[in-house]
């Protein structure tokens, strides 16, 4: 019996998505609830599972196609799949790949019969895109730790493993470059004097923007065009926070089972500022200003497909431990592609930490319809004057970008000053000053 696979409801106000990657191809066996396709929406990537066990009969859309909610995208022939089906499909696929009948993994004999069986089973469950990457890069999939759902290998896992292997064989000549940077660095190109480099020529690659990247570009450009953006800066002595973390980090981790980070301090400091400057926690809707008596902080998190901003709900009512756990959970799920639309819905204020990437100073762009965003940067020792003496302190530049249509300069400076003072004297957060 044939079963139609439809595009599921993707979230409030989301009516369509883009086929990001087919995880199964016609002829592949599929189990109940096994993902068969990855759909990209404006904010997240969603894996669509099969509601029945059977064999993929037909795919109704290509990778990159835009599909509406409810559209039929695949047909599954319900029923148990022949045991050898996966093996035959895999062998046929490998034989089509430029005469490469076997992967690198097949050349290395497993240490035991059990290891051999495990490697064979792993090969059978590789998605077409991952299998192709394994063949192209010549890596052993059984030695790679998967970061996908249920530990499944992704194409990014294979590429990262190949680049790590390449770096090792090259003696680390590429250094700490990211996988895509490393690949670029290892590609022969024209020399600086205009002549061709040995062994190759300069190349270009055109890659269609993901749906998420298109949405990010559109929203950020829209924020610049609609809002009256302005940024105010201040610097902050991090000595007190660093001392508090050093003193209590072990006790904190033991009691709450989470590391005490900097974001918890800044989230609570922001809550103090937003309470005293409510316009920074509001937004414009038509000819009205919407104020909030709660603080939902959007935290900018780096994900494989771009920057996402999951929301810490009621941050003003949560303690340090709960905030740190929320942030850690968001980071882990963003890496695995498991954030949901609900995770990113709403938000009244945003904190973006460019310091983790080494940024010294920046002018962050607000996250519409919000009216303000706090930018954090790297901590570095600098010479400052304290009580008439030149001393060295761990300093951080803070940036508050805001919509000048709603927030006056005095209010923006006041809000940032409150955050600075709370970080430099964390006791203020305990006694609500």
**Catalytic residue set:** 404, 408
| Helix runs in 201-319, H state only | 211-226, 239-256, 262-276
**First-to-last CA distance in the chain?**
67
Two structure tokens written together for 99: 């005469």
Two structure tokens written together for 430: 């305990």
Q: What is the DSSP letter of 305?
A: T
Beta partners for 21?
38
What gap in Å lies between CA 210 and CA 217, rounded to an integer? 11
Are 132 and 100 a contacting pair, CB within 8 Å? no
Residue 422 CA: distances (Å) to CA of 313, 331, 426: 21, 25, 5
Nearest to 323, CA basis, from 271, 242, 263, 374? 263
Bin 220: left if φ > 0, else alpha if -120 < ψ < 50, else beta. Answer: alpha
């Amino acid at each position: 019996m044939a079963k139609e696979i439809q595009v599921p409801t993707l979230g409030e106000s989301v009516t369509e998505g883009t086929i990001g990657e087919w995880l199964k191809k016609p002829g592949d066996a599929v189990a109940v609830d096994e993902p068969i396709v990855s759909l990209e929406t404006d904010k997240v990537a969603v894996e669509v599972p099969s509601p029945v066990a059977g064999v993929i009969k037909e795919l109704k859309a290509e990778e990159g196609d835009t599909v509406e909610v409810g559209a039929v995208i695949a047909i599954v022939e319900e029923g148990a799949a022949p045991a050898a089906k996966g093996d035959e499909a895999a062998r046929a696929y490998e034989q089509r790949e430029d005469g490469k009948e076997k992967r690198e993994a097949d050349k290395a004999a497993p240490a035991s019969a059990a290891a051999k069986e495990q490697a064979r089973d792993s090969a059978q469950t590789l998605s077409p895109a991952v299998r192709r990457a394994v063949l192209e890069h010549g890596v052993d999939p059984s030695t790679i730790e998967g970061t996908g759902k249920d530990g499944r290998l992704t194409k990014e896992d294979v590429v990262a493993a190949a680049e790590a292997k390449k770096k090792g064989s090259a003696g680390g000549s590429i250094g700490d470059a990211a996988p895509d940077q490393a690949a670029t660095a290892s590609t022969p190109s024209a020399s600086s004097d205009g002549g061709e480099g040995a062994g190759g020529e300069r190349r270009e690659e055109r890659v269609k923007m993901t749906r998420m990247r298109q949405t990010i570009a559109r929203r950020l450009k829209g924020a610049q065009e609609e809002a009256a953006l302005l940024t105010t800066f201040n610097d902050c002595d991090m000595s007190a926070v660093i001392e508090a973390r050093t003193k209590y980090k072990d006790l904190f981790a033991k009691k709450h089972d989470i590391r005490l980070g900097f974001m918890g301090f800044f989230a609570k400091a922001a809550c103090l500022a937003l309470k005293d400057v409510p316009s920074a926690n509001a937004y414009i809707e038509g000819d009205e200003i919407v104020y909030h008596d709660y603080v939902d902080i959007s935290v900018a998190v780096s994900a494989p497909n771009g920057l996402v901003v999951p929301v810490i709900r009621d941050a003003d009512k949560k303690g340090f431990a709960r905030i740190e756990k929320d942030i850690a959970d968001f980071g882990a799920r963003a890496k695995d592609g498991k954030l949901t639309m609900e995770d990113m819905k709403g938000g009244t204020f945003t904190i973006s930490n460019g310091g983790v990437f080494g940024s010294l100073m920046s002018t962050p762009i607000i996250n519409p319809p919000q009216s303000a965003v706090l930018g954090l940067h790297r901590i570095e020792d600098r010479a400052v004057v304290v009580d008439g003496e030149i001393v060295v302190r761990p300093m951080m530049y803070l940036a508050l970008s805001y919509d000048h249509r709603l927030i006056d300069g005095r209010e923006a400076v006041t809000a940032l000053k409150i955050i600075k003072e709370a970080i430099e004297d964390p006791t203020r957060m305990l006694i609500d000053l």
